[in-house]
A = this chain, B = another copy of it.
Amino acid sequence: MPVASTDALAPGSLLAGPLYAEVKRRITQSLMSGEWPQDAALPSEAQLAQRFGVSGGTVRKALSELVSERVLVRRRGLGTFVASRNRDYMLDAYFRVVDAKGRKRFPDSELLSFQSLQASPRVATQLRIKAGAPVLCIDNLLFLEGRPVILDCIVVPAAVFPGMAEPGFRDRDMTIFGYYQSRFGVTVTRLDEWIRAENADDRVASHLRLAPGSAVLAIERLAYTFDGTPVEHRQRWVSTSEHAYFNTLGMKAQAEA
């Protein structure tokens, strides 16, 4: 039979905050370290409770926060999993562009270019790497209902995605974040976006089939992984002639009593 785990939290130790927060940090660290393989379930509530020497309710509270932050998903009868960055997840959690009727659809994409370059000072600062460090730059055009609506210029540190190259990227059968996750073990857990309006330059206007000078959304976006390290910079231009960026805050609608 197994002996008491060394992970058990000392009962009298001085913690910065509540116990469940410490449990959450420990679980996050295990997720980061790759202790639990992709697509496999985490240990059950009862096992985690025993491992950390806390009650099931405390583990549940830690896991529930990670679920609400969309890091984990739990399925009754099955277990707790790292949320897979698949199409349905991305459309639901991260994709914000809707059509005139408010509908979201998964876009088709066309890879425009894939280059190995050196980080510009500006993007390097954002990614917290050295200016001139090797990066991969990917230009991608996204279509909704056959029309080009979104132009993306993705910059990722080469060190974070060792061995990434155009063929593998082009032939992936999944979302970009899903590719990061399954191929490189990099799970995006947070997105920050800064949205501005710009007059489209010739390149942007041409790709989005707009008149030069047309107003477009310019979205600068940073994606982070568990420990807050930025892993992707994306400059996105969105044509809002037929679409809008949708955002909602506050109380969800409640079903009738």
Cβ contacts under 8 Å, A193 to chain B:
246-249
Please tell me if A196 contacts chain B, counting CB pairs below 8 Å: yes
Contact with B along A226-255 (1 / 0, CB 8 A): 101000000000101000111111111111
How far apart are the CA atoms of A188 and B190 in the complex, in Å?
27
Cβ contacts under 8 Å, A29 to chain B:
257
5 extra interchain contacts, Cβ-Cβ under 8 A, other than A195-B240, A197-B198? A69-B251, A192-B246, A193-B248, A195-B217, A226-B251
List A residues at the B interface (Cβ < 8 Å). 16-17, 21-22, 24-26, 28-29, 66, 68-71, 93-94, 98, 188-199, 213-217, 220, 224, 226, 228, 238, 240, 244-255, 257
The CB with the most chain B CB atoms within 10 A, among A198, A214, A245, A252, is that of: A245
Instruction: With both chains docked as a complex, state the minimum distance between the C-beta of A244 and any C-beta of chain B, in angstroms.
Output: 4
- For A200, the closest partner residue in chain B by CB is B215
**Could you say how many copies of this chain the assembly holds?**
2
Cβ contacts under 8 Å, A17 to chain B:
255
Q: Are B199 and A214 in contact (CB under 8 A)?
A: yes
Q: Are A248 and B196 in contact (CB under 8 A)?
A: no
